[in-house]
Amino acid sequence: MRIKLEEIASRSGYSIATVSRVLSGKAKGRSQSVYDIIHTARDLGYKASLNQYNNIDIPIDVALVTQHDAEEFYSCLYESFDRIASKMNIQISIHSAKYSENLTEQVHLISKFHDGIIIMAPTLESADYQMISKKIDTFPIISIAPVNGNIFPTITFDSYEGGRLAAETLMESGFRDFGIITGPMAKWEASLRKNGFNDALVKKGYTINWEFQGDYSFSSGEAAYENIEREGLTNIGIFSSNDQMALGFLHTALENGSKIPGDFGVIGYDNMPYSKVFYPKLSTIGTNLDVLAEATLDSLRTKIKSKKIKKQNSTTTLLPVEIIKRRTHANNKTK
């Protein structure tokens, strides 16, 4: 329901004319009336433009739109964004778009009630973002999922480098045969992780000997072990495109009498909390979600408060990743 000026005037105690002047950006300087009216309007759900009043201490309102999966990564992502947003005086709400039949329209609708949008939609392609851009060309949007040919500013982890680090670590451990459990290849970051892994191996004269496509779930990690067991492969260094599949593989391998470290070397991706408590502790590619949240929210806040209306740009900021060496990457066969 559209908020009327009369409602804001009644709640704030100022005249309709004063409310209209403030909300249209015509009231200059810092005054109690501007502060009261802007706060009242936001409290009632009226989308008051913030770039006209940068000197008024009002939290910006941001929507995080995600295509979530049933895994711990998303709960950790939400927790980081929620906590960092609170420290930065930013209000944030989460919107699920996994089952959306028309994401372009959903994002367009969300833009009417928020100051900016963060999109975490790994299955979207450049054409999808282009459609969104045509709907809301100058609205502040940042993507945190990589895409081949990005349209919006993108801040994301260096997935290619993560794959490269996994390959280097497994080679340094003494493995000569290598495998990979990929994520869904419709997601661009899954391709980047595989490419980084493969390119590092090829550079040293090796190749991927075994590959299994998973869906980032624990059960697909279990299925990956069943597949490699049927093929009779052992003493192989394996990179899993996320921690959850890596732990599914480890769990099933240990249940079936395999030794890790020993029969397999395994490296996951994301450094989720459970990777530290599972036994043996999982070696993984570390990503710092707090850094992602802070960089994204800071960039979006700057865009929101900018007085100049700018069209979208396609810059990409790659955040660093690191190898976390615990136990599962080891190759006891070489000792």
* The total number of structural domains that make up the chain: 3
Contact 71, 280 (CB under 8 A): no
Q: Which residues pair with 95 in a beta bridge?
A: 65
Question: Same domain, yes or no, for 203 and 330?
Answer: yes
Contacts of 4 (CB under 8 A, 6+ apart): none
Q: Which of 58, 82, 97 is the last residue of a domain?
A: 58
Residue with the larger pLDDT of the pair 261 and 225: 225
Question: Same domain, yes or no, for 41 and 70?
Answer: no
Query: Which regions of 189-313 does DSSP assign to beta strands (E)?
Result: 210-213, 236-240, 264-270, 283-286
Q: Which residues pair with 324 in a beta bridge?
A: 284
**First CA to last CA across the chain, in angstroms?**
70
In this predicted structure, the answer to whether residue 130 has a pLDDT above a threshold of 90 is no
* Residue 50 confidence (pLDDT): 58
Contact 267, 240 (CB under 8 A): yes
> The dihedral of CA 36, 37, 38, 44: what is its sign?
positive
pLDDT tens readout for residues 50-95: 555 555 667 788 999 998 877 789 999 999 999 999 999 898 999 9
* Domain at 240, CATH number: 3.40.50.2300
Question: Same domain, yes or no, for 208 and 220?
Answer: yes
Q: Which of 20, 35, 58 is the last residue of a domain?
A: 58
Contacts of 167 (CB under 8 A, 6+ apart): 178, 196, 197, 198, 200, 201, 239
pLDDT tens readout for residues 305-318: 876 656 667 789 99
Mean pLDDT within 101-122: 87
CA-CA distances (angstroms) from residue 274 to 115, 178, 211, 247, 270? 35, 25, 25, 9, 11
Residue with tokens 């136990």: 327
Question: Same domain, yes or no, for 26 and 40?
Answer: yes
Residue range(s) defining the domain that contains residue 64? 60-157+289-319
- Integer Cα distance of 57 and 54 in angstroms: 8
Q: Which of 10, 26, 58 is the last residue of a domain?
A: 58
Question: Same domain, yes or no, for 306 and 330?
Answer: no
Contact 185, 245 (CB under 8 A): no
* Domain at 48, CATH number: 1.10.260
* Tokens read off for 31: 């005054």
pLDDT tens readout for residues 187-216: 899 999 999 999 999 999 999 999 999 999
Contact 271, 243 (CB under 8 A): yes
Residue with tokens 């590959």: 211
**Secondary element (H or E) of residue 181:** strand 178-182
Question: Same domain, yes or no, for 40 and 187?
Answer: no
Enumerate helices (H) and strands (E) in the chain, giving the number of each.
Answer: 11, 12
Question: Same domain, yes or no, for 167 and 149?
Answer: no
Angle, in degrees to the nearest 10, between helices 16-23 and 32-43: 80
Residue with the larger pLDDT of the pair 167 and 13: 167
Contacts of 28 (CB under 8 A, 6+ apart): none
Amino acid identity, position 252: T
Predicted TM-score (pTM) of this structure: 0.83
Mean pLDDT in the chain?
87
Contact 194, 308 (CB under 8 A): no
Contacts of 289 (CB under 8 A, 6+ apart): 76, 77, 80, 81
* Tokens read off for 178: 């290598």
* Residue 287 confidence (pLDDT): 96
- Integer Cα distance of 316 and 332 in angstroms: 40
* Residue 169 confidence (pLDDT): 97
pLDDT tens readout for residues 20-51: 777 776 665 557 777 777 767 766 667 666 55
Question: Same domain, yes or no, for 185 and 283?
Answer: yes
Amino acid identity, position 169: T
